[in-house]
Amino acid sequence: MNIPRTSFPRIVIIGGGFAGVALAKKLSKQEVQVVLLDKNNYHTFQPLLYQVSTGGLEPDSIAYPIRKILKDFPNFYFRLADVEEIDANKNKIKTNIGNLKFDYLVVASGSTTNFFGNTEVEKYSMAMKTIPQSLNLRSLILENFEEALLTSDLNERNALMNFVIVGGGPTGVELAGALAEIKKGILPKDYPDLDTRLAQIHIIQSSDCILKGMSEKASAKAEDFLEKLGVNIWKNVRVTNYDGKTVTTNTDLTFETATVVWAAGVKGATIKGLDAEDFVTRGNRLLVNEFNQVKGYEHIFAIGDIACMASEAFPYGHPMMAQPAIQQGDQLGDNILELLESKPMKPFAYKDKGAMATIGRNKAVVDLEKWKFQGIFAWYVWMFVHLFFLIGFRNRMVVFVNWVYNYIRFDREARLIIRPFKNKLKH
């Protein structure tokens, strides 16, 4: 890779997600060379992907060019690259655009959807972790409605209008709420010749409550909101398979559906060379110590979803969400600077800023440390926080305009099949 060696130590960061970007910002204007590698040339604001899938937002307004985030930083290099292997002992990585030596390596490669080894489910169901995946889901939902118009077979039409979401975490809950609003507000107008009662939205949750990481009150209220929106919640049910037509479960329940969204789990996106049993723990995450150092190395770190820092409070590592990633990136920035001056690093301490999820119009749940609230005010807080954390003034403005419009008009205008997902409709 064409990157000049300078007298500054070279820090290579793999991944431009919340963790990688927070770290890179921290290291800007310091006497280090930073090389950030990502498969995409943009940072994705994952918490709003479900709105892209449901036509509420453009993909472009929840993505941000990585080069632009870091454009004013000297000694900063970005490369669009897929990291194929890490040679930890030779301080080298192998990528699709060549090899690169590092002085310090930070793995911030994030997570991917966890299908728990079920290849059939993986083949037929939709994930929603990236922008292209979210756009595929958007296309599929709309293509299903178009197809439902064409069939006179009631079972087939049912399957096309049935949406099964596996997993009742924030992603599943937010997607279900948005689909329920489409069913109520848009389907009857766009498809007057379809019986919209056929459109059923199911959440399948393996445990006994949704939004498991949140408070009991938030969980109960979210369930209440969803049920009022007509979403069917199936608790204590575990999906065993999906063959493209039928979802089977560990109970008698089965679902005939053309659309399964798999939001039942994520796993660390490990990279060859650091993926041996030695390094990897539950959820396919890299074991790190309290300084985010990968087990056995002083100059290799992991932060964000990929890192598992086990502690008393978090025996299986921090939740795989934006906040721990940002905080770890931030702190590692400080720690690397300390390390370079041979000063002691500070152990990471997670500040839990709370959690929130939106269910729909005027309906959200928010858990803060000392205050848990639900309903319209929670919804405003949810919107404010998401706008605040979105990178870029333009993105904030565009998202704001869309939200105001969608709110006033009960609408979602980005219901466009720009790249058809089903083969037969490709052109």
Residue from 90, 99, 150, 380 binding a copy of itself (CB under 8 A):
150
Span of 19-27, 240-248, 285-293, 418-426 interacting with a copy of itself by CB under 8 A:
418-426
Handedness of CA 46, 354, 213, 346 (dihedral sign): positive
Residue 196: half-sphere exposure toward Cβ, Cα within 13 Å: 15
Among 8, 28, 68, 373, binds a copy of itself (CB under 8 A): 68
Half-sphere exposure of 38 (CA within 13 A, CB side): 22
198 binds a copy of itself (CB under 8 A): no
State yes or no: residue 402 binds a copy of itself (CB under 8 A). Answer: yes
Comparing CB distances to a copy of itself, the nearer of 139 and 206 is: 139
Buried b or exposed e, range 313-347, using 16+ CB within 10 angstroms = eeeebbbbbbbbbbbbbbbbbebbbebbeeeebee
Size of the site for a copy of itself (CB under 8 A): 58
Considering the rule CB under 8 A, would residue 349 count as an interface residue with a copy of itself?
no
Residue 193 near a copy of itself by CB under 8 A: yes
Binds a copy of itself (CB under 8 A): choice among 140, 142, 176, 357: 142
Which residue type occupies 342? S
Name the residue nearer to a copy of itself (CB basis): 253 or 401.
Answer: 401
Tell how far CA 419 is from the center of its chain.
21
* Choices 64-72, 225-233, 334-342, 347-355; region in contact with a copy of itself by CB under 8 A: 64-72
397 forms part of the interface with a copy of itself (CB under 8 A): yes
DSSP string, 227-253: HHTT-EEETT--EEEE-SSEEEESSS-
What radius of gyration, in Å, describes the C-alpha atoms of the chain? 22
Helix, coil or strand: residue 348: coil
Residue with tokens 């959200």: 364
- How far apart CA 188 and CA 283 sit, in angstroms, is 42
Structure tokens at 305: 């979803």
Q: Minimum Å distance from CB 46 to a copy of itself?
A: 15
Place of tokens 């305009």: 401
Three-state secondary structure call for residue 124: helix
Residue of the chain from 8, 28, 58, 101 that contacts a copy of itself (CB under 8 A) = 58
DSSP conformational letter for 372: E
**In the range 118-137, which residues lie near a copy of itself by CB under 8 A?**
131-132, 135
Per rule CB under 8 A, is residue 63 in the interface with a copy of itself?
yes
Cα 111 from chain centroid (whole Å): 8
Q: How many helices (H) and strands (E) does the chain have?
A: 12, 25
Q: Is 298 in the site for a copy of itself (CB under 8 A)?
A: no
- In angstroms, give the least distance from the CB of 412 to a copy of itself: 9
The reply on whether position 414 binds a copy of itself by CB under 8 A is yes
Using CB under 8 A, pick the residue from 25, 28, 65, 299 that binds a copy of itself. Answer: 65
Footprint on residues 7-46 left by a copy of itself (CB under 8 A): 39-42
- Which one among 31, 60, 153, 290 touches a copy of itself, defined by CB under 8 A? 60
Tell the smallest beta-carbon distance from residue 155 to a copy of itself (Å): 16
208-237 positions binding a copy of itself, by CB under 8 A: none
- Shortest gap between Cβ of 45 and a copy of itself (angstroms)? 12
> Measured between alpha carbons, how far is residue 73 from residues 14, 25, 69, 376 in Å?
18, 8, 9, 41
Site residues, a copy of itself (CB under 8 A): 1-2, 39-42, 58-61, 63-65, 67-68, 71, 77, 79-80, 82, 96-98, 131-132, 135, 142-143, 146, 149-152, 189-191, 193, 392-395, 397-398, 401-402, 405, 409, 411, 413-419, 424-425, 427
